[in-house]
């Protein structure tokens, strides 16, 4: 199976976690796009969605799925999103699609995080994928120096030759050279640096379940 087919497989499998009559939390990325396509088949059974990005909002609305403001919804039963890396404890690196801040907000508001990913995303230790960090532009150089002091190399993410601007009007730095052996402590530490909006380690908001697309089908990992 191709990676695209594996993504479609887990996107379809995630429908099983959507609670009829409720609002579902929807993440961002190419795997989630497959989930959104699948969700259209049960759009009459749900009230709608809370979305983690302008891109997903656009897709949901185009399929006739109502999108609610996060502030108007107290708690979601489930949040479904992809990951750039996931370890054997459900800790993840996210933000390859630059939506990490809203993703963490919606995840925090959800009782269950269901991660959908193809098997290439499963790792022993987080850090091989460049770690996305959303930063207030004024603090970018300072935050990059702090990562350098940890042995990391940070680069400002570019789009069309300019620093990429997130849905929240901020920039992203991508950090290579890190081995994140204690994701919970790492997330706690970096989140406190002035100017950091969101670090792409999801340990406090880790996955409860991962639907992993493999050559032999969907494997369910529970954490
Ligand atoms: C977006 C994300 C995505 O979940 C992550 O980048 C995985 O994306 P894809 O499903 O396209 O591989 O965190 O900010």
Cα(83)–Cα(200) distance, integer angstroms: 10
Tell which atom from ligand 1 comes closest to the C-alpha of 27: 4
Q: Of the listed 37, 85, 103, 187, which one is catalytic? A: 103
- Residues 89, 138: one domain? no
Q: Please answer whether residues 52 and 73 qualify as being in contact, where contact means their C-beta atoms are separated by less than 8 angstroms.
A: no
CB-based burial label for 138 (10 Å; 0-12, 13-18, 19+): exposed
Q: What pLDDT is recorded for position 222?
A: 98
* Residue 157 and residue 112 share a domain: no
Of the pLDDT bands very low, low, confident and very high (cuts 50, 70, 90), residue 66 is very high
- The answer to whether residues 37 and 70 belong to one domain is yes
Q: Output the residue whose Cα is nearest ligand 1's atom 8.
A: 29
- Are 17 and 96 part of one and the same domain? yes
Q: Which residues are paired to 115 by β-bridges?
A: 81, 210
- Compute the distance from residue 126 Cα to the ligand 1 centre, in Å: 15
**Which residue's entry shows tokens 């993440």?**
27
Which tens digit of pLDDT belongs to each residue from 166-222?
A: 999 999 999 999 999 999 999 999 999 999 999 999 999 999 999 999 999 999 999
The set of protein residues with a Cβ atom below 6 angstroms from ligand 1 is 27-31, 81-84, 94-100, 103
Are residues 193 and 212 located together in one domain of the fold? no
pLDDT single digits (tens) 85-123:
999 999 999 999 999 999 999 999 999 999 999 999 999
* pTM confidence score: 0.97
Give the domain CATH number at 170.
3.30.70.260
Count of C-beta atoms within a 10 Å radius of residue 162: 9
Longest dimension (CA), the chain: 52
Residues 208 and 196 in one domain: no
CATH of the domain at 115: 3.40.50.1360
pLDDT at residue number 172: 98
**Concatenated DSSP letters for 101-134?**
HHHHHHHHTEEEEEEEEEGGGB-SSBTSSPEEEE
Residues 36 and 114 in one domain: yes
Amino acid 42: pLDDT: 96
Q: Pick the residue whose CA is nearest to atom 7 on ligand 1.
A: 83
Return the SS3 of 79: strand
In this structure, the answer to whether residues 14 and 104 fall within a common structural domain is yes
Query: Does 96 lie in the same domain as 50?
Result: yes
Cα atoms in the 13 Å half-sphere on the side-chain side of 156: 21
Structural domain of 96: 3-123+204-222
21 and 103 co-located in one domain: yes
pLDDT tens readout for residues 71-84: 999 999 999 999 99
**Total number of domains in the chain:** 2
């Amino acid at each position: 199976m191709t990676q695209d087919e594996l993504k479609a497989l887990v996107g379809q499998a995630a429908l099983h976690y959507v609670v009829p009559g409720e609002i579902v939390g929807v993440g961002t990325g190419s795997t989630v796009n497959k989930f959104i396509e699948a969700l259209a088949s049960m759009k009459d059974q749900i009230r709608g969605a809370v979305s983690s990005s302008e891109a997903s909002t656009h897709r949901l609305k185009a399929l006739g799925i109502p999108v609610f403001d996060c502030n108007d919804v107290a708690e979601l039963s489930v949040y479904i999103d992809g990951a750039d890396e996931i370890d054997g404890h459900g800790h993840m690196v996210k933000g390859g699609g630059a939506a990490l801040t809203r993703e963490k907000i919606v995840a925090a508001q959800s009782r269950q995080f269901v991660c959908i990913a193809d098997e290439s995303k499963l790792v022993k230790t987080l850090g091989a994928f460049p770690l996305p960090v959303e930063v207030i532009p004024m603090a970018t150089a300072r935050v990059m120096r702090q990562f350098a002091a940890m042995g990391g190399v940070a680069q400002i993410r570019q789009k069309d030759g300019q620093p990429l601007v997130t849905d929240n009007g901020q920039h992203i730095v991508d950090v290579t050279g890190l081995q994140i052996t204690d994701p919970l402590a790492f997330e706690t530490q970096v989140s406190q640096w002035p100017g950091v909006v969101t670090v792409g380690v999801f340990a406090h908001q880790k996955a409860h379940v991962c639907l992993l697309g493999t050559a032999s089908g969907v494997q369910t990992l529970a954490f």
